[in-house]
Amino acid sequence: MQISKHIHAVKIPFIVPTPMGNIERFVYVYLVCGDQVTLIDSGVAGAETAIFSYLESIGRGKIVNRLILTHSHPDHIGAARAIRAATGCSVAAGEAERNWIEDTDRQARERPVPGFSTLVGGPVTLDRVVSDGELLDLGGELSLEAIATPGHSAGSMSFFLRKEGALFSGDAVPIPGDMPIYDDFRSSAATLERLRRIKGVELLLEAWQEPRTAGIPERIAAGQSWLQSIDAAVRMAGQEAEHDAMTLCRQVATRLGLSPLAMNPLVARSFCSHDMKGT
């Protein structure tokens, strides 16, 4: 669907298989269509079919000039290899994400996700490493400002299309009540504060949420509040006894009223990034 003069969103549904049952998810990828076509994130393996179909429906053909990845997780890089092969596009991402993008087997070992091999179509080499504050020329009058937004992952990047007030935030803003998935609590909290202070945001374009044109400060504030609730639950559990990661995960997930599906190693990794004995 078209979001603004230059921005289009493509919704990619997918399934994460787990021992406790399948988790139905979706992820948004975004197209910035001006003189050239820029794709922000690629979705999971196979998403190229929906992306190319959408491009053809708006008269752009099977053309992608550049692919910009907000981070290296499977639902963002899964179709990158196929899209590069079909279009010859350049690929860009943050430096701290490079290893897991260029070596997906390494990512599968270091951050195992159920169904990883079905979600990721293989590695892709970066043509450009993006740094905080860098301006990416998209051709014509369009440019993207890169904003370092670590926390969800070490090298997560958001991108601001200032001309249209559009902030592409990837997974930087946690969703209240959803599975908490981040690498570092403090970095994630700092990222939310940084995003909250950006002036001129009229569109919030997230990966796991519908595109938003209203209530943007409230959405970010809700993510901040959810992080603080998680932190309080982790600290309470951490003060009661010593835990292994999965015991801690079960206790905190129960306190937060999360689904049993949240009692998994990825969520445990999030909780373990908190200072459980802090004050």
Domain ranges of the chain: 7-223
- The rounded distance, in Å, linking the Cα atoms of 99 and 213 is 34
pLDDT surpasses 90 at 243: no
pTM of the model as a whole: 0.95
Q: Could you tell me the CATH superfamily of domain 7-223?
A: Ribonuclease Z/Hydroxyacylglutathione hydrolase-like (3.60.15.10)
State the average pLDDT over residues 41-48. Answer: 98
pLDDT at 241: 57
| % of the chain surpassing 70 pLDDT | 97
pLDDT at 16: 85
State the average pLDDT over residues 38-59. Answer: 97
Could you tell me the two tokens for 122? 């293989």
Angle at 273 between CA 181 and CA 117, to 5 degrees: 40
State the average pLDDT over residues 196-211. Answer: 96
Q: Residue 55: CB partners within 8 Å, gap ≥ 6?
A: 31, 37, 61, 62, 63, 64
Chain-wide mean pLDDT for the chain? 94
pLDDT at 279: 46
- The rounded distance, in Å, linking the Cα atoms of 153 and 172 is 9
pLDDT surpasses 50 at 27: yes
> Per-residue pLDDT tens for 124-168?
999 999 999 999 999 989 999 999 999 999 999 999 999 999 999
Angstrom CA distances, 129 to 9, 77, 82, 136, 267, stand at 24, 15, 20, 11, 28
